[in-house]
Structure 1
Amino acid sequence: MQSLCYCLHSLNVTETWHALHDTCHVTYEQVLPVVMLVAVVTNVTNVTVLLLRAHPKGRPSPTPTRRYLLSLGVSHCFVSGVVVVGLAVRRRVGVTYALAFYLAHLEEPLYHVFNCSCSYIILGLSADRFRAVCRPDAYSAAEAYGKAPVRIALAYALPAVMYLPSCFSLSPVYSARHRGWGVAEGPIFKTPGWRAWSVLLEVVHRIVPCVFLVALNLRILRAVARLKSTRASMMLRGEAARRAGGSRHEQRVIYLLLALTLTFLLTNVPATSLKMVYALQNQHCLTNLGLEVARAIANGVEMAGVCSDFFLYFVMNPEYRRDLHALALSACRLCACCAPLTARCPVKEESGDQRSTQS
């Protein structure tokens, strides 16, 4: 998410200025607020369902897949929060020092840290499913339980270290003209080192995870196709087949992972391209009509990806629908007028064995 529309106050009024203003107005005051409302509601719902229903009957702790998805939902909630604040503060001159300090030193790093953590969390989930499907003999459920928290912690720690220099790329400055504080380029912004670091960040943030995700998921797809062919021709049975993704629950998790990966790739490629152009140009407020239209589309696509998880879970995961149903009924029981509805729609619980691979 990158909007330079807040730089319009510093541009000279030309024949293209009004077109830029209209583009920014439609995108960031009409379209994106609706998208972000959906993103906030859906991701809060995801976190609530995955957190409150994280202990299926007969299982003492959430599955590794559920841990990854819960962390992904938390990251998306923080991303949505940063974007909502950014949309609310469109005019970035004449503000208080505290707000200017946040906009200069915290807004961009916070967004990129949690956005980058999403790609690493999906990568960690893909690595876990790769071992389970492609190397079932070496896969251990206990090992997966132990590795999931470590991978999730690294998914947050590495981006925090990577984007620490971003805290100093901009600076709050006082504007006598606007009688308040604003944001301007920091002392490191124009240095060649910062330009190289910005390009490297984008490579490590999106391009490298995309390459690994494509490679891992292609191998998972081939393994699943090979397993189905083997089962159809030889009626293969046993523990090895089940652990290799033979159960319907395991296959649902794999297909959900593939959908998440594909969504991540499709929604991040436009943003990556625009970010690389911006980093190479190395000008804080460089904007024109063509770039702003492209940036508006890229931002809209990227934010649509942030709010897509709920719909993927709901469509592709019956366990998620069941947990959402149970949570909705629990909430309805708090309201006396909804008691007849809860009596007509009881929740069917599954056994621990059936839900052992619940995502």
Structure 2
Amino acid sequence: MLNLIIILVLLFGFYVLAMILFNWATDYRPGDTTAVQTKNQGIPIDTVAEKSFLIWNIGFGGLGEEMDFFYDGGKSVRPKKVLVEKYLEGIHSFLEGKKNLDFILLQEVDKRSKRSYRNNEVESISNIFENHSSAFAPNYKVKYIPIPFEKPLGGVLSGLLSLSKFQADEVTRYQFPGNFSFPKSLFFLDRCYLKMRYKLPDGKELIVINTHNSAYDDGSLKKIQMEYMRADILNEYQEGNYVIVGGDWNQCPPNFDCYKFKKAESPYEQRNIEEDYLPGWTWGYDSEVPTNRKLAKPYDPETTFTTVIDFYLCSPNIEITKIKTHDLDFAYSDHQPVELHVLLK
């Protein structure tokens, strides 16, 4: 019996070592900046001062109302195929109604990942916006995730998808500095933001950024990422450009009560972005509707913890004219879409 236990322990050790070595050898190692090719060029950006946006973390088409998730303390690894089909149908249907918007910034869009049954969500969503240009930046590219041990997550390719009516002059993936320690870093996201540059007729430039900041950290990674982004976008504004950042920040906006929608006792701790992060800039969010729900259990409107972590940041030369979170009751994702309309001053 003792020999059997020793053999099993050794086999498990070899398995763990093999997984680490395999993923180290195949690890995605993006550069600090990477040029991104766009599909469908779009039209030259117009002189109309008002521009419209939508942000949405679609939860890879697998985190709708019936789901919990093991990273958040739940038990599920991936939903049944019929649920993925239901969630993607709902996501597609909502996006169909937003084809009139100028910019669509999505997070957690899968490209033939095991967890979403090999659906190419980048392609199916881009096809909805056939007249928009599209750009995809991977931030989760792992050949094989061996956890949970009894039902591994498997291979994942996922990232940021930005769509625009207009032809971008430059699209770049910016790798955020910092990551989890080895070997955990092999199996987690390579966080980034996707930056699109548009030259306006008046000589200035519009900078549109799609971001997805770290989750499951103690706040230290987000702090490094925020400092890195601040230097970049502040420089753009000082050059006379318009800057809009939108996405899933995995933290609440400054001065927002993270526990405003709290319905029951919860172990979750939410943090705010510092109040003095960028004085004079405007945070765009709908304070009356939550954008994110936690995944320890399937969604229950009476008890599930919800808050606001999906929003926009606009430079001082931009005026927000409309901000609205579309309340879908978390039917298709653990996040809700947020629409923004602005005026370039």
Does the TM-score normalized on the shorter chain lie above 0.5? no
TM-score of the aligned structures, taking structure 1 as reference length? 0.26
In terms of fraction of residues, the more helix-rich structure is 1
Of the two structures, which has the highest relative contact order with CA contacts closer than 8 Å and spacing of 6 or more? 1
In terms of fraction of residues, the more strand-rich structure is 2
Larger CA Rg, structure 1 vs 2 = 1
